[in-house]
Amino acid sequence: MTPDSLRAALRGVPDPDWLDAALRQVVAEPTAITRLFPAVGRRCGRAALPDAPGWTADDAARVLLLTSLPGEHATYAESLYRHGDAAERRAVLRALPLLPIGAAGVPLLQDAIRTNDTRLVGAALGPYARHLDPAAWRQAVLKCVFSGVPLAVVADLETRADGELAAMLAALAAERHAAGRELPADATDLLDRLTAALPREA
Amino acid sequence: MRIFDPHIHMTSRTTDDYERMAAAGVRALVEPAFWLGQPRTSAASFVDYFDSLIGWEPFRAGQFGVRHFATIALNPKEANDPRCRPVLDLLPRYLDKDAVVAVGEIGYDSMTPEEDEAFAAQLALAVAYDLPALVHTPHRDKARGCERTLAVVAESGIDAGRVVVDHLNEVTVKLVRDSGCWLGFSIYPDTKMTPERMVELLREYGTERMLVNSAADWGRSDPLLTRATGEAMLLAGFSDDDVDRVLWRNPVEFYGQSGRLDLSDLDVAEKVDPQTGNSILRGGS
């Protein structure tokens, strides 16, 4: 998803003039984002965007505000995340892969993954999670399985899932079976695929 | 019976409470920022508390189908501690948040000059941020505290219809009613107000501007006393519509003045029994 396609998908929001003015203001006066960011849900709504699957109006509009900043993206992302409510934090996490900040946002991902808020854990496992080292990434994927976050939200799952993740999933499956419980179907499917693809160890 | 608890401290409650509240008909609530029993020693401690009120606690409530809103303020008790005063400078950024529907709890605890100052400053914030205010009244010296509270509210210039004065009883009800402010009553197992006494006050003063809350927190309290009050009203001859007004429409009207009370996608339509025409009480009773 690019800023341009989010912009196009946001044409039908309840108050498009507010969003236009907010985006212009952020370009001219970047500090204005501090008060515009929390107001987005009230002005643009929180409905799913038909032209941007997986996106809501508030997430998309906040991401656009961040990508419209003329500079200091990492500083603003950090401050808006630290001072944000859960919806603002989720939007910052979703904006990270679209900002010119390299790996500077990784501490925010780590913070989100430490929470038990499934909205934040899920948002942390988008494309920007490529900056997470393999150990942290596997733990985060396992946490999704453990807390019922659908694995469909995990970016690069097929290419990054490895033997170590398979071993962790198998151990969780064994624990669940011992308790008479099952893994979610998407996790069982992933474990089956990984097990089939990996050479069996003696 | 659909219930909006306009004052309850869920941070101190368990998921069992959320489950029982949802089963009893509680669909939405407001959690005012207050003290935590153990006095805090720094503003940073408040940051974590406020963040929880707009982050983790709404998530917890959502798991039980309950919509969670908050009010944010430096409470009167801790306004007396110089280590906590810098909290006043942190408030503006929280007052911009979606689910923050009022400034509160503000008001008096021991009626000190420090409390005077924090109370006035935070009423000014309510005006500046176009938010209603939730005002706590002191548990000691209540009648005089209430008079002084109303004088400060009048002096602040905030519209009386945007202020709820809370924890009222038989002694303070008339004073607040005549002021034009909303009236909050905290129903407690054995102290502030009981369901039966509440019914008497509703008989005498009517249902207009009346808000009933459980104020349940870390002390001995009961989050289902809103429901118990609704049932006591029905037993005393009030109609389903009266109960709905006190337990749902009044709090929605009061906090709706914030412009931020988003109750969309919430299952709050009153279900009517096609046989009797009466509303069906939720929660299996």
Tokens of B186: 């905290």
Quick: pLDDT tens for A4-57: 999 999 998 888 899 999 999 999 999 999 999 999 999 999 999 999 999 999
CATH assignment at residue B80: 3.20.20.140
Considering the domain boundaries, does residue B278 fall inside one?
A: no
Facing B55 at nearest CB: one of A34, A42, A86: A86
Quick: pLDDT tens for B63-111: 999 999 999 999 999 999 999 999 999 999 999 999 999 999 999 999 9
Average pLDDT over residues B113-131: 98
Average pLDDT over residues B18-41: 97
Chain B hits for A85, Cβ within 8 Å: 54-55, 97-99
How many domains does the structure of chain B reveal?
Answer: 1
Considering the domain boundaries, does residue B69 fall inside one?
A: yes
- How far the first Cα of chain A sits from its last, in Å, is 44
Tell me whether residues A38 and B259 touch, CB distance under 8 A: no
Please say if the pLDDT value at position A199 is more than 80: no
CA-wise closest residue to B179 among B150, B201, B214, B199: B150
SS (H, E, C) A76-142: HHHHHHHCCCHHHHHHHHHHHHHCCCCCCCHHHHHHHHHCCCHHHHHHCCCHHHHHCCHHHHHHHHH
Tokens of A15: 């108050």
Please say if the pLDDT value at position B272 is more than 60: no
Please say if the pLDDT value at position B283 is more than 90: no
Facing A85 at nearest CB: one of B54, B259, B262: B54
Distance from CA of A8 to the nearest CA of B (A): 25
* pLDDT at site A1: 83
Tell me whether residues A42 and B97 touch, CB distance under 8 A: no
User: A46 vs A87, A93, A117, CA distance in Å?
Assistant: 10, 17, 18
Cα–Cα distance measured from residue B56 to residue A114, given in angstroms and rounded to the nearest whole number: 12
User: Which range (A127-141, B44-58, B262-276) has the least confidence?
Assistant: B262-276
Stated pTM of the model: 0.92
Share of chain A above pLDDT 70, in %: 98
Cα–Cα distance measured from residue A41 to residue B53, given in angstroms and rounded to the nearest whole number: 18
Facing A85 at nearest CB: one of B98, B259, B262: B98
- The string over A150-176, giving b where at least 16 C-beta atoms fall within 10 Å of a residue's C-beta and e elsewhere, is ebebbeebeebbeeebbbbbeebbeeb
* pLDDT at site B281: 40
One-letter amino acid at B238 equals F
Please say if the pLDDT value at position A194 is more than 60: yes
Residue A154 DSSP SS3 = coil
Burial (CB < 10 A; 0-12, 13-18, 19+), residue B43, is: middle
Q: Which domain holds residue B17?
A: 3-256
Considering the domain boundaries, does residue B94 fall inside one?
A: yes
Going by DSSP bridges, is the β-strand pair B210-213/B26-32 parallel, antiparallel, or unpaired?
unpaired
Show which residues on chain B lie within 8 Å of chain A, measured between beta carbons.
54-56, 58-59, 93, 96-99, 259-260, 262
Which residue in chain B is spatially nearest to A79 when comparing CA positions? B93
Tell me whether residues A42 and B259 touch, CB distance under 8 A: yes
Residue by residue, DSSP assigns B213-266 as: E----SSS--TTHHHHHHHHHHHTT--HHHHHIIIIIHHHHHHHTTS----TT-
Facing A117 at nearest CB: one of B55, B99, B260: B55
Chain B hits for A116, Cβ within 8 Å: 56, 59
Instruction: Note the ipTM here.
Output: 0.90
* Mean pLDDT of chain B, nearest integer: 93
Tokens of A142: 């396992």
Q: Other CB atoms closer than 10 Å to residue B47's CB: what's the count?
A: 16
Please say if the pLDDT value at position B282 is more than 80: no
Cα–Cα distance measured from residue A67 to residue B66, given in angstroms and rounded to the nearest whole number: 34
